[in-house]
Chain A
């Protein structure tokens, strides 16, 4: 399950979600590989923590109800059920407002400035257009944004194989334009 060997990724190109995931993965590799950034997992770990907590609460309720059959377990069940649904709403808020489709957060040190790159992608249902938004945050508080809006055809070949070169080019272009813009100021 590791992506260390540069294997060829082939997907069903008519499956929008699969295409999006494959391109997302390829972009992540560009950041950790070619651009030598360090991936930060805080955002996804936060989501995993919320999910694990919710499942844990449900398992706890199941166990408690098994050990102390219903009328006895009422109080624990009330607490578990309400906290479960609160956790679910927090999770929804987290994914819609905090994660917002961000699939990779990469950090990089340039001199004494730390730059954080956040890449998020969106694909509409039954659409072939892949929208990538790249946000760069400097540790001195500057934020820059760039985006591309292109068909899957720009990243996949006719067989549905991800063309890593095209993605590297695309990302390096964005990366350079965002980095150099900063220098002009």
Chain B
């Protein structure tokens, strides 16, 4: 069975094999280019994120998919839900803007809080950081799709499962001709 799986590959000539590898490369790069294209269009370095915690309930639940934009000319306002990075943390946080100070020259500093948290986020920020600024912002939430992100969460919780799925797909594409 496993032997016949690779029969196709064994029978290929040099050019067919190169094409097989390239078409696998094109599947990966198409996904990559769509992502990079979204980055350019939305201006956010990560245009789609998954909510990982329940800190924004009942607005967002674990597993919701959020669509972000980050246009420089759109000011951050109190009440908006922003996604921001904190130094020393790998995963960005999705929370609501609670307080905001804006200067005449346009620079802003703001404080955030999770709807479901009892205190504001100062405890989450980097040591000694009291306010967030524009450079910390990954994007503003523009839309969401409930529960779709659960797949990503499971994949990240069981990395072996993720690699198994991805590996199977890769082998299938590489081995199967057209």
Contacts and interface: CB of A to CB of B under 8 A. Distances in A.
A45 B16 CA distance: 10
Interface stretch (A56-64, A108-116, A131-139): A56-64
A14 interface: no
A69 interface: yes
A125 to B, nearest CB: 12
A71 B72 CA distance: 11
A85 B33 contact: yes
B130 interface: no
Given A3-B11, A81-B33, A47 B17 contact: no
A93 interface: no
Contact of B19 (A3, A51, A69, A70): A51
Contacts of B37: 77, 81, 85
B12 A81 contact: no
A41 B16 CA distance: 11
Chain A, interface size: which category? Answer: 35 or more
Interface in A45-75: 45, 47-48, 51-52, 54-55, 57-59, 61-62, 65, 69-71, 74
Interface string A10-54: 111000011001100100000000000000010011011001101
Interface residues of B, number: 29
Interface in B1-47: 4, 7-15, 17-19, 22-23, 25-26, 28-30, 32-33, 36-37, 39-40, 45
A80 interface: yes
A78 interface: yes
A62 B29 CA distance: 9
B82 to A, nearest CB: 17
A154 B164 CA distance: 41
A51 B26 contact: yes
Contacts of B157: none
Contact of A48 (B19, B30, B32): B19
B101 interface: no
